[in-house]
């Protein structure tokens, strides 16, 4: 009887070992590591930095700007892009500001209205509106003049890098400018030191 129980236990262990070898959730976990954690296989800026920076910036814009919180009307904000002033001029860092845009859209309802970038707006109009969006019949505005809501503020960013032998220090700065007065109403940054 004792031999039979031992045999069943050994067989169970062997089946368990074979089953673990073909574990699909483990494979999936290796192929899709969490975006909010650093991956030891990578170096430089990672998805965790995008998430941390964009969460920090959107939260700070929505909670710490007195003019926004005390304003009787919604702020209209156009999101521009991120200037790459790093050592690697090939990388597009707009992913940082696009995630800030998403967070502002999700959490800024009632206080912030996002406005499409003018170049993208005209591109969409030319593709999707008959006549390219021009007001040929004088029913919407003066031809050649901007029509619609004008943004009060522009949000943009800069990525700066100080490379060393083994590491790089990144300063990712975001600014919110008043388009009527040229005032910088908000500036904040995200700093990180990474392996090269």
Residues 23 and 89 in one domain: no
Domain identity same for 25 and 60: no
* Containing structural domain, residue 108: 43-132+148-195
The set of residues, in sequence order, having a beta carbon less than 8 Å from that of 44 and lying 6+ positions away, is 168, 194, 195, 196
Contact at 8 Å (CB) between 33 and 39? yes
What string of pLDDT tens digits covers the 196 residues of the chain?
566 665 665 656 555 555 555 545 667 667 888 999 999 999 999 999 999 999 999 999 999 888 888 888 899 999 999 999 999 999 999 999 999 999 999 999 889 999 999 888 889 888 888 876 555 544 444 455 556 789 999 999 999 999 999 999 999 999 999 999 999 999 999 999 999 9
Paired residues of 113 in beta bridges = 76
Q: Are residues 163 and 110 in the same domain?
A: yes
- Let me know whether 79 and 117 are in one domain: yes
Do 61 and 68 touch, CB atoms closer than 8 A? yes
Domain assignment of residue 94, yes or no:
yes
The number of C-alpha atoms within 13 Å of 100 and in the hemisphere containing its C-beta is 33
DSSP 119-170: HHHHHHHHHHSGGGG--TTSSSS-TTS--SPPPSEEEEEEEEEEE-SSEEEE
38 found inside a domain: no
68 and 10 in a common domain:
no
**Domain count within the chain:** 2
pLDDT score for 142 = 47
From residue 8, alpha-carbon distances to 4, 12, 21, 22 in Å are: 6, 6, 20, 21
- Are both 82 and 121 inside the same structural domain? yes
What is the structure's pLDDT at 144? 55
Cα dist. 129→123, 141, 187, 188 in Å? 10, 16, 37, 38
Tell if the pTM clears 0.85, that is, is over it. Answer: no
51 and 88 both lie in a single domain: yes
User: Is the Cβ–Cβ distance between 174 and 100 less than 8 Å?
Assistant: yes
Q: Are residues 17 and 80 in the same domain?
A: no
Asked if 135 and 86 touch (Cβ cutoff 8 Å), the reply is no
Tokens representing residue 41 in the block: 């296989």
């Amino acid at each position: 009887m004792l031999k039979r129980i031992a045999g069943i236990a050994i067989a169970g262990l062997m089946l368990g070992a074979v089953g673990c070898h073909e574990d699909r959730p483990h494979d999936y976990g290796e192929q899709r590591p969490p975006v909010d954690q650093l991956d030891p296989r990578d170096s430089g800026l990672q998805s965790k930095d995008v998430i941390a920076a964009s969460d920090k910036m959107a939260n700070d814009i929505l909670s710490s700007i007195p003019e926004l919180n005390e304003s009787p009307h919604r702020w209209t904000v156009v999101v521009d892009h991120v200037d790459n002033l790093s050592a690697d001029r090939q990388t597009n860092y707009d992913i940082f500001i696009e995630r800030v845009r998403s967070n502002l859209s999700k959490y800024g309802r009632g206080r912030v209205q996002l406005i499409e970038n003018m170049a993208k707006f005209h591109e969409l109009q030319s593709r999707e509106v008959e006549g390219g969006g021009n007001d040929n019949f004088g029913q919407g505005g003066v031809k050649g003049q901007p029509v619609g809501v004008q943004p009060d503020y522009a949000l943009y960013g800069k990525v700066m890098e100080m490379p060393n032998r083994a590491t790089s220090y990144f300063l990712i700065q975001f600014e919110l400018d008043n388009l009527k007065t040229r005032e910088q109403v908000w500036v904040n940054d995200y700093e990180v030191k990474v392996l090269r």
